Amino acid sequence: MCLTAMDRPRRLILLLFFALTGSTLAQKPSPCPQGTWTSYHRDKCYRIIPIPVPFEHAEITCHNFQSRLATVYNRHDNQIISDAASLIVQNMFLKTPEFWLGGRDDYEEGSGWQWIDVDHTTMNYTHWADGQPVDKYGFDCLQVNATSGNWNSGKCTQAYPYICESDVDIKPTTPPPTTCPPLKNTTCPACPTCTTASKPTCPTQPECIPCATEHPTSPSSFTTEIPTTHAASTTSVAESSTASPSTFQP
């Protein structure tokens, strides 16, 4: 496939972006996937998207990544995302240091600035620049300046790069049971249980398993069957034995 003169710089930017984020994360183990940054409490993953779009488009794209526009609840996370964004600005030669975050102040009249999460959480932590936020029509969306880490109120319809976040996927580990459940069998008695002293895990249950450890308690428990093909000869031998023991031939 041939690349046009316009496509080549765009491809170089994307290659540089993924190489940069990948090499940054390789220096320290992280619960987040490659190409993202880990929050201070290691419970969120931040993804920097260097493509400028209006605020609502950024929100939609984050949802397509199974995430949302980033929320910041402490100075440590604000430092992490501003440092990450600053690194992207420097290495990808972006024209603007501002990035969209997931905050607005136009949900309800007089409600103030809120995070656009499920609960529309109030911003208890802020890092506004001097003179911010401005009270102008349309300047209702939150930005972070990658150079200073300060926040600005940006015009929602203007295009800026943005930062998405997702929760760390923590899979709980379930320890093995201390004892195994009784073996279930619909056609023979239940077999003895097993313990972790002998087996760390319980075997898969088949539909019916013979109980090898179970034996009859008395001879009366056994039943035998004489084949029908030999019934006549067995009877004649018995009669000959009763009538004349001396003539019996084994």
pLDDT attached to residue 170: 63
Q: Which domains does the chain have, with CATH numbers?
A: 37-167 (3.10.100.10)
pLDDT attached to residue 217: 45
Concatenating the DSSP letter of every residue in 203-227 gives: PPPPS----TT---SSGGG------
pLDDT attached to residue 115: 94
pLDDT attached to residue 140: 95
Q: 0.95 cut: is pTM over it? A: no
**Dihedral over Cα of 35, 41, 44, 48: its sign:** negative
| Residue numbers in the chain where pLDDT is lower than 70 | 1-28, 108-110, 170-250
Cβ proximity of 41 and 111 under 8 Å: no
Residues 6+ apart with CB under 8 A from 135: none
pLDDT attached to residue 97: 97
pLDDT attached to residue 172: 59
pLDDT in tens, 30-58: 789 888 999 999 999 999 999 999 999 99
What tokens does 212 get? 């090898």
pLDDT in tens, 212-230: 444 444 444 434 444 444 4
Residues 6+ apart with CB under 8 A from 98: 143, 144, 145, 146, 152, 154, 160, 161
